[in-house]
């Protein structure tokens, strides 16, 4: 099976965890797109009733087009379950997210969720995180100063650009700087703390001690790993 087929498989499988009347956090990305399609199918064919809480403009657009009712995170008291993709997951369930640039809203929605599931194909599993470029969302004003600090620290930063060579701008109007750390991150908690302390850094893509369950699409079937 190719990577896309594995993503579809886990997207469909994850939708089975959703029950009637749940408030469901909807992540962002190509794997979540399959989840959204399957939720829409269940709403139509099985009369499933849910409220979605979106993590990006792209997800909102997709969900609305398929008739999935949405509320913002401030319109709900809590989220029953959030299902999202991930870019890298270590053996001890630490993750890097933000490949699609939606890390801030993804982290906010996950933070208010009673259960948090990641859906990935098997290529996302690693021993230690750090090979995938670590995204950092930064305020536009002063972004080049942050870039210089990160460069001096030896973190190999790169501004994220769109295909047309303009800066990539997040749904919140910020820039993304990706850190090409090359080596595995020795202490993700320390790095996360260091990044958060920098003035102008809004959020980073280290999702530490957050996930409950990982659903993995493999060529030999679906694998489910529980972190808690
Ligand atoms: C977006 C994300 C995505 O969940 C992550 O990039 C995985 O995406 P995909 O399912 O397309 O591989 O964090 O900000």
The CATH number linked to 151 is: 3.30.70.260
pLDDT at 228: 74
Strands of the chain (E only): list them.
Answer: 23-26, 51-54, 70-71, 79-84, 88-89, 95-96, 113-121, 134-138, 157-159, 175-179, 201-204, 206-207, 213-218, 221-226
Please state, for a pLDDT cut of 70, what percent of the chain lies above it. Answer: 100
Token pair, residue 194, equals: 């260091």
Q: What is the mean pLDDT of the chain?
A: 97
Domains identified in the chain, total number: 2
Please give the torsion angle defined by the CA atoms of residues 31, 38, 67 and 103, in that order, rounded to the nearest 10 degrees: -20
Best mutation site among 5, 10, 11, 29 for ligand 1 pocket (most ligand atoms within 8 Å of CB)? 29
What is the pairing mode between strands 221-226 and 134-138?
unpaired
> Are residue 45 and residue 120 in the same domain, yes or no?
yes
Token pair, residue 47, equals: 């009369």
User: How many residues would you count in the chain?
Assistant: 228
> Are residue 109 and residue 38 in the same domain, yes or no?
yes
Encode pLDDT of 161-191 as tens digits. Answer: 999 999 999 999 999 999 999 889 999 999 9
Encode pLDDT of 199-209 as tens digits. Answer: 999 999 999 99
Encode pLDDT of 112-162 as tens digits. Answer: 999 999 999 999 999 999 999 999 999 999 999 999 999 999 999 999 999
Best mutation site among 5, 31, 85 for ligand 1 pocket (most ligand atoms within 8 Å of CB)? 85
Residues acting as catalytic residues: 106
Q: Is the C-beta atom of 100 inside 6 A of ligand 1? A: yes
pLDDT at 163: 94
Q: Is the C-beta atom of 101 inside 6 A of ligand 1? A: yes
> Are residue 101 and residue 164 in the same domain, yes or no?
no
Nearest CA to ligand 1 atom 6: 99
> Are residue 28 and residue 120 in the same domain, yes or no?
yes
Is 1's pLDDT higher than 90? no
> Are residue 144 and residue 57 in the same domain, yes or no?
no
> Are residue 75 and residue 171 in the same domain, yes or no?
no
> Are residue 72 and residue 149 in the same domain, yes or no?
no
> Are residue 43 and residue 144 in the same domain, yes or no?
no
> Are residue 40 and residue 119 in the same domain, yes or no?
yes
Mean pLDDT of 190-198: 98
Other beta carbons within 10 Å of 144: 12
Mean pLDDT of 16-38: 98
Residue with tokens 């999935």: 68
Query: Any idea what the CATH number is for the domain that residue 49 is in?
Result: 3.40.50.1360
Residue with tokens 């003035």: 199
Separation between Cα atoms, residue 170 and residue 203, nearest integer Å: 12
> Are residue 94 and residue 8 in the same domain, yes or no?
yes
Is 80's pLDDT higher than 80? yes
- pTM value surpassing 0.85: yes
pLDDT at 76: 98
> Are residue 51 and residue 109 in the same domain, yes or no?
yes
Q: Is the C-beta atom of 205 inside 6 A of ligand 1? A: no
Q: Is the C-beta atom of 135 inside 6 A of ligand 1? A: no
CB 20 within 8 A of CB 50: yes
pLDDT at 182: 84
Confidence class for position 77, pLDDT limits 50, 70, 90: very high
What residue numbers bound the domain in which 143 lies?
134-202
Ligand 1 center from residue 86 Cα (angstroms): 5
Ligand 1 center from residue 115 Cα (angstroms): 18
pLDDT at 5: 94
């Amino acid at each position: 099976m190719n990577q896309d087929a594995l993503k579809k498989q886990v997207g469909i499988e994850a939708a089975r965890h959703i029950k009637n009347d749940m408030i469901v956090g909807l992540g962002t990305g190509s794997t979540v797109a399959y989840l959204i399609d399957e939720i829409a199918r269940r709403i139509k064919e099985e009369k499933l009733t849910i409220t979605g809480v979106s993590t990006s403009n792209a997800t909102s657009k997709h969900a609305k087009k398929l008739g999935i009712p949405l509320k913002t995170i401030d319109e709900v008291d809590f989220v029953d379950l959030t299902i999202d993709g991930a870019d890298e997951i270590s053996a001890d369930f630490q993750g890097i997210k933000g490949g699609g640039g939606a890390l801030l809203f993804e982290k906010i929605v996950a933070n208010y969720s009673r259960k948090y599931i990641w859906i990935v194909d098997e290529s996302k599993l690693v021993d230690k995180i750090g090979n995938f470029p670590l995204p950092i969302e930064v305020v536009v004003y002063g972004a080049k100063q942050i870039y210089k600090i990160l460069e001096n620290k030896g973190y190999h930063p790169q501004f994220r650009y769109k295909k047309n060579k303009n800066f990539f701008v997040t749904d919140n109007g910020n820039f993304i700087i990706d850190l090409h750390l090359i080596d595995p991150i020795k202490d993700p908690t320390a790095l996360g703390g260091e990044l958060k302390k920098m003035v102008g850094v809004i959020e980073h893509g280290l999702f530490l001690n957050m996930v409950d369950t990982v659903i993995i699409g493999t060529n030999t079937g679906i694998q489910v790993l529980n972190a808690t």
